[in-house]
């Protein structure tokens, strides 16, 4: 099949089956498309939609996002994961206000230079918002092209990446670029799925090499999966006499960067650690059951340890990085999913 034939079939399929009612598709607003593309990185559409709607309701434009406090941005991102996306989105909004007079740029180089945006995301935004012709290569597109051409080299190799970019460029049409871009992403997300691809529903099946070989699931070719390592931490849920719990803001970079969480104690003696690190005398209670949280490359086993302060809380004064948090009156700040879950359990215990 020629490149023109592939795009024609894909566009005809999109006209009948494409996801045209997604909330960021209602108008070609580059801001809404940008937010959606960032949220959709590593995340499924069904998960993203409610987060997107809440985010846009609170931050309807670039200026509103740029003016916002990072805590509020992270609060609306809580549970969506990959929090660097939210930090970069906020940073990029401020850059657009300062450098581009609050107008989303149209030049590819200017978009690709924004925090959190690479070549594929920049191309997708400009194609979807302005109809500019740029190839894209997100996970769904890689899968479609690798299967269609039976690309038999490892997906994580540079030569494979270069080959897939060449194919993406080759197949991107000169007209209806926005529809084509959405179509190939939709095909990968709904038909040419990673597991159990629905080849009988695919408009490209007659010329798809992987389908002809009867082995679509063998493509893209991935390295043998290693078992994910398990790490462990202990989170101290320290309460004061008023029932407030001590929270600390995590460093801006690294795991859960910029989010609020419980102090994490590496020392086997939690009481000694608290005296040395927090200036607090505490009494610990029996640990709660271990809570496992899985990331893309490892599992984290969290042991929640309830504790209470002995002798007053004035030793640990509040500051920009430490607060005594009232679980009965939650405010707008960002939490990781396991911390949010533990806070909800504490709140439930308070109400019983």
* Active-site residue list: 37
> What is the four-CA torsion angle of 212, 215, 189, 13, rounded to 10 degrees?
10
- The continuous run of DSSP H or E covering 302 comes out as strand 299-309
* Contact indicator for 76, 85 with CB cutoff of 8 Å: no
Q: Based on the number of CB atoms within 10 Å of its own CB, is 238 exposed (0-12), middle (13-18) or buried (19 or more)?
A: buried
- Cβ(209)–Cβ(151) below 8 Å: no
Tokens of residue 165, six digits: 């970019």
Of the candidates 207, 208, 175, 191, the residue with the CA atom closest to the CA atom of residue 18:
191
Computed over its alpha carbons, how large is the radius of gyration of the chain? 24
The rounded distance, in Å, linking the Cα atoms of 209 and 232 is 45
Dihedral pair phi/psi, residue 323, rounded to 5°:
-140, 150
Between the CA of residue 66 and those of 28, 82, 92, what are the distances in Å?
Answer: 21, 20, 8
3-state SS assignment for residue 304: strand
Nearest to 292 by CA among 228, 245, 343: 228
Tokens found for residue 224 = 């043998």
Which residue, among 126, 250, 128, has the nearest Cα to 179 in the 3D structure?
Answer: 128
Q: How many CB atoms lie within 10 A of CB 108?
A: 15
CA 318/CA 242 separation, integer angstroms? 15
The Cα–Cα gap between 330 and 178 comes to 42
Residues 168, 176: Cα–Cα separation, whole Å: 15
Q: Which residues contact 285 (CB under 8 A, 6 or more apart)?
A: 305, 306, 307, 308
């Amino acid at each position: 099949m020629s490149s023109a034939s592939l795009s024609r079939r894909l566009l005809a399929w999109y006209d009948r089956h494409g996801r045209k009612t997604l909330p960021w598709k209602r108008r070609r607003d580059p801001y809404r498309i940008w937010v959606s593309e960032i949220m959709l990185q590593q995340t499924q559409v069904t998960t993203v939609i409610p987060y997107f709607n809440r985010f846009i309701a609170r931050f309807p434009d670039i200026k509103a996002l740029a003016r916002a406090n990072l805590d509020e941005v992270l609060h609306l991102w809580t549970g969506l994961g990959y929090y660097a996306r939210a930090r970069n989105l906020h940073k990029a909004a401020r850059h657009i206000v300062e450098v581009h007079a609050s107008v989303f740029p149209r030049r590819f180089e200017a978009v690709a230079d924004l925090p959190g945006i690479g070549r594929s995301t920049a191309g997708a935004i400009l194609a979807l918002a302005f109809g500019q012709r740029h190839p894209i290569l997100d996970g769904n597109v890689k899968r479609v092209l690798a299967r269609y051409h039976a690309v038999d080299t490892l997906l994580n190799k540079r030569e494979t990446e270069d080959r897939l970019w060449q194919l993406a460029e080759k197949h991107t049409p000169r007209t209806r670029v926005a529809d084509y871009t959405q179509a190939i992403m939709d095909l990968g997300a709904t038909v040419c799925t990673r597991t159990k691809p629905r080849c009988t529903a695919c408009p490209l099946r007659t010329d798809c090499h992987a389908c002809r070989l009867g082995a679509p699931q063998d493509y893209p070719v991935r390295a043998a999966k290693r078992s994910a390592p398990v790490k462990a931490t202990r989170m101290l849920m320290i309460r004061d006499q008023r029932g407030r719990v001590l929270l600390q803001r995590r460093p801006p970079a690294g795991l859960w960067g910029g989010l609020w969480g419980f102090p994490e104690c590496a020392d086997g003696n939690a009481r000694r650690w608290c005296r040395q690190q927090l200036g607090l005398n505490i009494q610990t209670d029996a640990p709660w059951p271990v809570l496992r949280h899985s990331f893309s490359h490892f599992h984290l086993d969290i042991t929640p340890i309830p504790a209470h302060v002995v002798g007053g809380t004035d030793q640990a004064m509040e500051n920009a990085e430490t607060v005594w948090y009232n679980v009965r009156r939650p405010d707008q700040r960002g939490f990781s999913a396991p911390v949010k879950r533990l806070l909800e359990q504490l709140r439930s215990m308070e109400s019983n």
